[in-house]
């Protein structure tokens, strides 16, 4: 036995949202160093499903699975380093994990590499290269990659603007219940962009977004495929020596307590670093800051995030859900829109408004 049976049983409980029983099954399989179970336990702790959310413990499980070159775990380790969850934020380390997972054609890792190059996170911005990664992920029907491709063609980012092609990508992502794509489809039909205006159909898409917000999708876990089981059954018939393998498998059992023991004293590490102070005293410095952190152009019709960084209204709307500031990765739970086209000349007029908005806690 290699633990696959317990992983399958745990996956059944997971789908039923019985996370406690799922965890018990995964832990039994983890005693055999089953990489899928180690990854799945990381998912539970990463998202606080049936256990207290703890990125450090999650990272310990991901690392054990990554030692077996598990592409799912490699990708999730990359995400921890990209967003600074349980570790110091490091785009270079994140990219390294993504690239290792992408070598196995992991669709999530391909999409995440696309994000790094699309927004210039830790690398020089390269939209053509980003599109290449998105397309490879989209070939596997990765919903976020499909959405990103739709966004690229809707706004003509590095390609010729094409609403019809954008709608095609959004529709494929919407079939996978991607809430951002559903919202975009609603916008296309509401404004009649590339399609005949249909407000009723637009509202239908918006209602689907609301339904997903009330009942969000579960994070994806890993389940061994039937082909793997067939290979395991066939091996003892050809090579009886396979039975002796548990002697080798038992070695990682010694390492397992070390991961947990190291993780527990460290405790929880904040999900995000405190945002920078927003400059209000110096008018010239303030004017320089009035640039969208995505397109690096004047932030006309700007959105002020709680972290103090500014975005164009259109760039803010294009951020995937859940929204994070692309500069500091701060969670954007609310943002204030200020519609004006000025720069320095409007500074004094809006100074009091900015002062009132500067009420977030570091």
Tokens representing 23 are 């965890």
pTM, whole model, 2 decimals?
A: 0.65
* Residue 120 belongs to some domain of the structure: yes
Total count of domains within the chain: 2
Q: Which domain holds residue 17?
A: 4-214
What's residue 312's pLDDT?
74
What pLDDT was estimated at residue 352? 46
Tokens linked to 309: 């960084």
Which of 167, 198, 214 lies at the terminal end of a domain, its last residue?
A: 214
| Domain match, 205 and 288 both | no
Peptide bond into 43 cis (omega under 30): no
In a domain, 262, yes or no: no
Question: What is the CB-side half-sphere exposure of residue 140 using CA atoms within 13 A?
Answer: 15
User: In angstroms, how far is CA 42 from the centroid of its own chain?
Assistant: 15
Residue 221 lies in a domain: no
| Number of neighbouring beta carbons within 10 Å of residue 85 | 21
| 10-residue averages of pLDDT along the chain (362 residues) | 91 96 97 96 97 97 97 98 96 98 98 97 96 98 97 94 97 96 96 95 96 92 65 38 41 38 33 40 49 60 63 73 69 58 43 46 34
265 is a domain residue: no
Q: What is the CA radius of gyration of the chain?
A: 23
Contact 191, 154 (CB under 8 A): no
- pLDDT reported for residue 319: 77
Q: Is residue 170 part of a domain?
A: yes
Residue 233, domain member (yes or no): no
Is 138 inside any structural domain? yes
CATH number of the domain residue 310 falls in: 3.30.40.10
Domain's final residue, options 185, 214, 243? 214
Q: Which long-range contacts (CB under 8 A, 24 or more apart) does 127-132 make?
A: 127/152, 127/157, 127/158, 128/158, 131/158, 131/159
CATH number, position 193: 1.25.40.10
């Amino acid at each position: 036995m290699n633990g696959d049976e317990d992983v399958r049983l745990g996956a059944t409980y997971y789908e039923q949202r019985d996370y406690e029983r799922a965890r018990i099954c995964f832990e039994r399989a983890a005693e055999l160093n089953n990489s899928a179970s180690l990854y799945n336990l990381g998912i539970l702790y990463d998202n606080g499903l049936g256990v207290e959310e703890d990125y450090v413990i999650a990272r310990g499980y991901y690392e054990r699975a990554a030692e077996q070159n598990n592409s799912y775990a490699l990708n999730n380790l990359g995400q921890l380093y990209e967003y600074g969850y349980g570790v110091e934020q490091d785009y270079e380390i994140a990219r390294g994990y993504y690239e290792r997972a992408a070598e196995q054609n992991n669709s999530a890792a391909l999409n995440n590499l696309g994000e790094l190059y699309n927004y210039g996170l830790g690398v020089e911005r390269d939209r053509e290269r980003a599109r290449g990664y998105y397309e490879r992920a989209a070939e596997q029907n990765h919903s976020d990659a499909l959405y990103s491709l739709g966004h690229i063609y809707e706004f003509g980012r590095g390609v010729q603007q094409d609403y019809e092609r954008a709608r095609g990508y959004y529709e494929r992502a919407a079939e996978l219940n991607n809430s951002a794509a559903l919202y975009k489809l609603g916008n296309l039909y509401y404004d009649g962009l590339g399609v005949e205006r249909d407000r009723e159909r637009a509202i239908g898409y918006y209602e689907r977004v609301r339904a997903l917000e009330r009942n969000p999708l579960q994070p994806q876990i890993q389940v061994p495929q039937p082909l793997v089981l067939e290979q395991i059954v066939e091996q003892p018939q050809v090579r009886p020596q396979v039975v002796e393998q548990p002697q080798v498998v038992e070695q990682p059992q010694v390492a397992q307590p070390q991961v947990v023991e190291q993780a527990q004293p460290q405790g929880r590490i904040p999900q995000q670093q405190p945002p920078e102070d927003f400059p209000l005293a110096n008018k010239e410095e303030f004017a320089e800051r009035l640039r969208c952190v995505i397109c690096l152009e004047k932030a006309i019709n700007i959105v002020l995030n709680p972290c103090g960084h500014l975005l164009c209204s259109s760039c803010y709307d294009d951020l995937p859900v859940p929204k994070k500031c692309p500069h500091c990765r701060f969670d954007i739970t609310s943002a204030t829109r200020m519609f004006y086209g000025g720069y320095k000349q409007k500074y004094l007029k809006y100074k009091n408004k900015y002062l009132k908005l500067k009420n977030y806690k570091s």
